[in-house]
C-alpha cells in the first residue's frame, strides 16, 4: 500500500509540472497533502507480532506471556508452558465458541480446531468477538483472521462444514484422529473437545464422535431466554454421556396453534455468553494444566446468581452403544485404578492411625456411610415385593416384534423404491 | 398426543411403525431401516391419495438414502402453493429427527432456521424423541411438516410474502 501511495505522489507531481492551467494547482496541492496523510496512516497501521519460540517468564512490556507464566511463580500451575502441547477442538463458533477460542488463543494454546458452517451476520453483533466488517464471512474464516492476529503462535485449523451430515461427520472424526501435531500423544489427536453448539442434534453428534473415540469433552449451553447456562465435563464411560440423560421430553398438549405463538428467534446476551465461555475455558485450563478442581457440571442462573454443581453417573441403559462399550471398559479397568489410587495414597505422608481419644464413655462408633456394594448390579430392575412397574421398560420395543406388523411382504430395496416412484409419478 | 386434531391422529395410527434402530453408518441394519422407511412412505402416500389428501412427493436423492428431495404443497383459499422439499438423514438418526428444509422459503418467516430448516422444536421434536425408533420419515412429514405448512402458509400468503404462481404470471402478462 505504501509503495502505491508513493507512485501516486510521483504521478501527481508529473501532472502538476505539465499542467498549463495554473488555476488547478491549488486542488492538486490539496490532493498531494491528502496522499501524504494517507501514507502516514499506512505507516502507523498495526504490525503483526512475530512468533515466539519459547514462553518466557521475563516481566517486560513486550512479552505476551509474562502474566500467564506468573501463574507458576504464584504456585497455581506447575508447568504453564505445557499449554503449547495441547490441542483443543471447538465445535460451534458462535456466542460461546468464538469467545472460548479467543480466550484459549490469548492463553497461548498449542492448536485450535474450529468447526462451524455458518456465516457472520449483523444479528450476531450483540455478542462478543465478531466485528461488523466481518459480516458475510464464514465464522471459521473470520475467527482465524482475528485469532491469528492476536496470537500467531497458535496453530489454527478451520473446518467449514456441518458435522451432522454423513460426510461432515467423517471429516470431523478424521480431523480429531489426526496426530500430526503431537505424534507421541495417546488416544486421539486432540486433548479436549469443546461443544459450543446451539442445538440438540449437533450435541448428539459430538457425543457420538467422542464416545466412539473415547475422547473427553465439555458441553456448554446457554438457555433460549439468555438468563441461564451450564458447562459439563463428559468422560466416556466414567460420567453420564449426553444421551444417558436425554433432555426432558414432555409432549404436553401441543397443537398447531401454538406454532404461531412460538418464535424461533432465541434471545441472547453478551454477558451470559461471556460468563459461560469464561466458565468453560476456566474448566478447560484446570483440566489441561492440572490445577484446582475440575467441575463435572456447573450451572449458572443469571436471575438469582445461583451456581449449582452436581455429578452424573452413566446410565447403564443408555441408548448409545458406544457409551455402553466405554462403561464396560471403565468397570473392567477398576482394579487397576484402585491400585493406582492406593499407591498414590501410600506415597503421601502416612498418618499414624490410632484412637484419637483414649476413653469412649458413650460408646460412639463411626460407621462407614458408603453404600454396600451389591453383587447384582442390575438392582434397578428388581422391585421390592408388592410393587410393580406401571409403564413398560424402555427397551421393550427392541424385542423382535410380531412379523405381521409389516404385512407388505416385499423385502427388496429396489422394488420398494420403484413402488414409491410409481406412487410419485401420478 | 392430546391437542392434535382427530384427522392427524387417525392418519398417524395407519402409518406403519418402524422397528430397526439404525442410522446411515450402520451398514446392513441401515438397509433394513431404509426398507421400513420405504414401506411407511408407500403406505402413507397411498393413504393420502385414497383420502384425496395428497400433499407431497419425496424420493431418495442418492443410493444410500441419506439425502431426500421432493415437493410439498398446501391448498389455501382454493389455490395450490407448492414448495421444494429436501433434507439429509443426520448421522445420529434415528435418535435425532431429520431437519426438513424448504429452501424457497428461507428468510421469509421467523419459524425457520438458516438454510430454510423449518422449526420443529416445540410441536414435533418431543414426539419424535418419545417414539424413537418407531417414527420415520413418513411420520416426520405427517407430524412435522404438515402442521407447519398448515400454520405458516396462510400467514405467508396473507402477509404477501408468498405469491401464488398464477398471480405472478398474470401480473407480468398484464405489463
Residue pLDDT, tens place only, A399-419: 444 444 444 567 788 889 989
Rg (CA), chain A: 30
Q: How confident is the model at residue A247 (pLDDT cuts 50, 70, 90)?
A: low
**Averaged pLDDT score across all residues of chain A:** 86
Cβ contact, residue pair A259, B41, below 8 Å: no
Q: In the structure grid, which three cell numbers stand for residue A142, read together?
A: 473470520
In this predicted structure, the answer to whether residue A197 has a pLDDT above a threshold of 70 is yes
Chain A residues in contact with B113 by the CB 8 A cut-off are: 264
Cβ contact, residue pair A259, B5, below 8 Å: no
In this predicted structure, the answer to whether residue A356 has a pLDDT above a threshold of 60 is yes
Cβ contact, residue pair A208, B42, below 8 Å: no
Alpha-carbon distance of B172 to B166, in angstroms, equals 10
Chain A residues in contact with B92 by the CB 8 A cut-off are: 164, 201, 204-205, 208
Q: How confident is the model at residue A270 (pLDDT cuts 50, 70, 90)?
A: very high
Alpha-carbon distance of A154 to A108, in angstroms, equals 6
What's the whole-number mean pLDDT along residues B117-123?
86
- The catalytically annotated residue of B72, B119, B132, B142 is B119
Q: How confident is the model at residue A269 (pLDDT cuts 50, 70, 90)?
A: very high
Q: Is B159 part of the contact surface with chain A (CB cutoff 8 Å)? A: no
Say what the pLDDT of residue A367 is: 82
pLDDT-above-90 percentage for chain B: 67
Higher-pLDDT residue of A41, A341? A341
pLDDT in tens, A312-330: 999 998 989 999 999 999 9
Residue B133: cis peptide before it, omega within 30 degrees of 0? yes
In this predicted structure, the answer to whether residue B28 has a pLDDT above a threshold of 50 is yes
Cβ contact, residue pair A164, B91, below 8 Å: yes
Identify the sign of the CA torsion B98, B104, B110, B115: positive
Cβ contact, residue pair B42, A118, below 8 Å: no
Alpha-carbon distance of B75 to B84, in angstroms, equals 15
- Torsion angle of the four alpha carbons B76, B81, B82, B88, in this order, in degrees rounded to the nearest 10: -60
Say what the pLDDT of residue A200 is: 87
Burial class, B26, CB count within 10 angstroms (exposed 0-12 / middle 13-18 / buried 19+): middle
DSSP H helix total and E strand total for chain B: 6, 5
Assessment of whether the complete model's pTM goes beyond 0.80:
no
Q: In the structure grid, which three cell numbers stand for residue B99, read together?
A: 431437519
In this predicted structure, the answer to whether residue A102 has a pLDDT above a threshold of 70 is yes
In this predicted structure, the answer to whether residue B10 has a pLDDT above a threshold of 70 is yes
Q: Is B112 part of the contact surface with chain A (CB cutoff 8 Å)? A: yes
Q: Is B146 part of the contact surface with chain A (CB cutoff 8 Å)? A: no
Say what the pLDDT of residue B168 is: 67
Chain A residues in contact with B96 by the CB 8 A cut-off are: 164, 200-201, 204
Three-class DSSP category at A405: helix
What's the whole-number mean pLDDT along residues A1-9?
82
Say what the pLDDT of residue A401 is: 47
The C-alpha cell 398438549 sits at A253
Residue of A nearest to B71 (CA): A424
Burial class, A40, CB count within 10 angstroms (exposed 0-12 / middle 13-18 / buried 19+): exposed
Name A15's bridge partners: none
Interface test with B, best of A173, A243, A264, A323 (most B CBs within 10 A): A264
Say what the pLDDT of residue A411 is: 78
In this predicted structure, the answer to whether residue B126 has a pLDDT above a threshold of 90 is no
* Element at B79 (helix H, strand E): strand B79-88
Say what the pLDDT of residue A259 is: 43
In this predicted structure, the answer to whether residue B173 has a pLDDT above a threshold of 60 is no
Contact A163, A202 (CB under 8 A): yes
**Phi and psi at residue A194, to the nearest 5°:** -110, 120
pLDDT-above-90 percentage for chain A: 54
- Is position B142 annotated as part of the catalytic site? no
pLDDT in tens, A34-89: 888 888 887 776 677 888 888 888 888 888 999 999 999 999 999 999 999 999 99
Q: How confident is the model at residue A273 (pLDDT cuts 50, 70, 90)?
A: very high
**Distant-in-sequence, close-in-space partners of A381: CB < 8 Å, separation ≥ 6:** A393
Cβ contact, residue pair A416, B58, below 8 Å: no
Q: How confident is the model at residue B69 (pLDDT cuts 50, 70, 90)?
A: very high
Say what the pLDDT of residue A107 is: 96
Alpha-carbon distance of A157 to A176, in angstroms, equals 11
Q: How many CB pairs under 8 A join A and B?
A: 137
Residue of A nearest to B70 (CA): A424
* Helix B28-50 × helix A413-425 angle, to 10°: 30
Alpha-carbon distance of A210 to A191, in angstroms, equals 11
Say what the pLDDT of residue A263 is: 46
User: Which of A255, A319, A398 lies nearest to residue B95, judging by beta carbons?
Assistant: A319
Least confident window among A140-149, A185-194, A391-400, B81-90? A391-400
Residue of A nearest to B17 (CA): A405
Contact B138, B62 (CB under 8 A): no
Interface predicted TM-score (ipTM): 0.84
- C-alpha distances (whole Å) from A74 to each of A62, A70, A285, B91 are 21, 6, 16, 47
Please identify every residue of A annotated as catalytic.
265
Cβ contact, residue pair A246, B129, below 8 Å: yes
Q: How confident is the model at residue A257 (pLDDT cuts 50, 70, 90)?
A: very low
Q: Is B107 part of the contact surface with chain A (CB cutoff 8 Å)? A: no
Neighbours of A341 (CB within 10 A): 10
Say what the pLDDT of residue B11 is: 87
Q: Is B90 part of the contact surface with chain A (CB cutoff 8 Å)? A: yes
Say what the pLDDT of residue A352 is: 63
Among A164, A217, A163, A229, residue whose Cα is nearest residue A192: A217
Cβ contact, residue pair A201, B4, below 8 Å: no
pLDDT in tens, A286-303: 999 999 999 999 999 999
DSSP summary character for residue B144:
I
Cβ contact, residue pair A423, B35, below 8 Å: no
List, in sequence order, every beta strand (DSSP E) within A199-339.
Answer: 217-222, 228-234, 297-301
Residue B94: cis peptide before it, omega within 30 degrees of 0? yes
In this predicted structure, the answer to whether residue A376 has a pLDDT above a threshold of 70 is no
Interface test with A, best of B1, B13, B58, B92 (most A CBs within 10 A): B92
Among A231, A247, A233, A225, residue whose Cα is nearest residue A302: A225
Strands A155-160 and A111-116: parallel
Strand B67-76's sheet: what is its strand order?
A: B56-60, B67-76, B79-88
Amino acid at each position: 500500500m505504501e509503495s502505491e501511495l508513493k507512485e501516486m505522489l510521483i504521478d501527481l507531481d508529473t501532472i502538476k509540472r505539465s499542467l498549463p492551467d495554473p488555476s488547478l494547482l491549488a486542488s492538486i496541492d490539496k490532493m498531494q497533502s491528502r496522499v501524504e496523510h494517507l501514507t502516514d496512516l499506512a505507516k502507523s497501521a498495526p504490525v503483526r507480532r512475530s512468533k515466539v519460540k519459547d514462553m518466557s517468564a521475563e516481566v517486560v512490556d513486550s512479552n505476551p506471556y509474562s502474566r500467564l507464566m506468573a501463574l507458576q511463580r504464584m504456585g497455581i500451575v506447575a508447568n504453564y508452558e505445557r499449554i503449547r502441547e495441547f490441542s483443543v477442538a471447538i465445535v460451534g463458533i458462535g456466542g460461546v465458541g468464538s469467545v472460548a477460542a479467543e480466550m484459549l488463543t490469548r492463553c497461548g494454546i498449542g492448536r485450535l480446531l474450529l468447526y462451524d458452517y455458518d456465516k457472520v451476520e449483523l444479528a450476531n453483533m450483540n455478542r462478543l468477538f465478531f466485528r461488523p466488517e466481518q459480516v458475510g464471512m464464514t465464522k471459521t474464516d473470520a475467527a482465524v483472521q482475528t485469532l491469528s492476529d492476536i496470537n500467531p503462535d497458535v496453530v489454527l485449523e478451520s473446518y467449514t462444514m456441518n458435522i451432522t451430515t454423513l460426510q461432515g461427520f467423517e471429516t470431523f472424526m478424521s480431523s480429531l484422529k489426526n496426530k500430526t501435531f503431537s505424534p507421541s500423544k495417546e488416544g486421539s489427536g486432540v486433548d479436549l473437545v469443546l461443544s459450543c453448539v446451539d442445538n440438540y442434534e449437533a450435541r448428539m453428534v459430538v457425543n457420538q464422535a467422542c464416545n466412539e473415540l473415547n475422547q473427553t469433552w465439555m458441553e456448554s449451553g446457554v438457555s433460549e431466554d439468555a438468563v441461564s447456562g451450564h458447562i459439563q465435563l463428559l468422560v466416556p464411560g466414567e460420567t453420564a454421556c449426553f444421551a444417558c440423560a436425554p433432555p426432558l421430553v414432555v409432549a404436553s398438549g401441543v397443537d398447531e396453534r401454538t406454532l404461531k405463538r412460538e418464535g424461533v428467534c432465541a434471545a441472547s446476551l453478551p454477558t451470559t455468553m461471556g460468563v459461560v465461555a469464561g466458565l468453560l475455558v476456566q474448566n478447560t485450563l484446570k483440566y489441561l494444566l492440572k490445577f484446582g478442581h475440575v467441575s463435572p457440571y456447573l450451572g449458572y442462573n443469571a436471575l438469582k446468581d445461583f451456581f449449582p454443581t452436581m455429578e452424573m453417573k452413566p446410565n447403564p441403559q443408555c441408548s448409545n452403544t458406544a457409551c455402553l462399550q466405554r462403561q464396560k471398559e471403565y468397570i473392567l479397568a477398576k482394579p487397576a485404578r484402585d491400585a493406582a489410587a492406593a499407591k498414590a495414597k501410600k506415597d503421601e505422608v502416612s498418618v499414624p492411625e490410632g484412637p484419637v481419644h483414649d476413653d469412649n464413655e458413650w460408646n460412639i462408633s463411626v460407621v462407614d456411610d458408603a453404600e454396600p456394594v451389591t453383587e447384582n448390579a442390575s438392582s434397578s430392575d428388581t422391585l421390592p415385593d408388592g410393587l410393580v412397574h406401571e409403564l413398560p421398560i424402555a427397551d421393550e420395543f427392541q424385542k423382535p416384534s410380531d412379523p405381521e406388523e409389516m404385512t407388505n411382504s416385499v423385502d427388496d430395496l429396489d422394488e420398494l423404491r420403484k413402488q414409491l416412484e410409481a406412487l410419485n409419478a401420478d | 398426543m392430546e391437542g392434535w386434531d382427530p384427522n392427524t391422529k387417525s392418519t398417524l395410527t395407519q402409518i406403519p411403525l418402524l422397528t430397526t434402530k439404525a442410522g446411515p453408518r450402520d451398514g446392513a441394519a441401515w438397509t433394513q431401516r431404509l426398507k421400513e422407511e420405504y414401506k411407511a412412505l408407500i403406505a402413507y402416500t397411498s393413504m393420502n391419495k385414497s383420502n384425496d389428501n395428497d400433499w407431497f412427493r419425496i424420493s431418495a436423492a442418492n443410493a444410500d438414502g441419506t439425502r431426500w428431495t421432493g415437493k410439498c404443497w398446501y391448498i389455501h383459499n382454493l389455490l395450490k402453493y407448492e414448495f421444494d422439499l429436501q433434507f439429509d438423514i443426520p448421522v445420529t438418526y434415528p435418535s435425532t429427527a431429520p431437519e426438513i428444509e424448504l429452501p424457497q422459503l428461507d428468510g421469509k418467516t421467523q419459524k425457520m432456521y438458516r438454510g430454510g430448516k423449518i422449526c420443529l422444536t416445540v410441536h414435533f421434536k418431543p414426539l419424535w424423541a418419545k417414539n424413537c425408533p418407531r417414527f420415520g420419515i413418513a411420520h416426520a412429514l405427517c407430524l412435522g411438516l404438515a402442521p407447519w405448512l398448515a400454520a405458516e402458509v396462510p400467514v405467508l400468503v396473507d402477509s404477501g410474502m408468498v405469491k401464488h404462481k398464477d398471480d405472478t404470471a398474470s401480473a407480468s402478462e398484464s405489463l
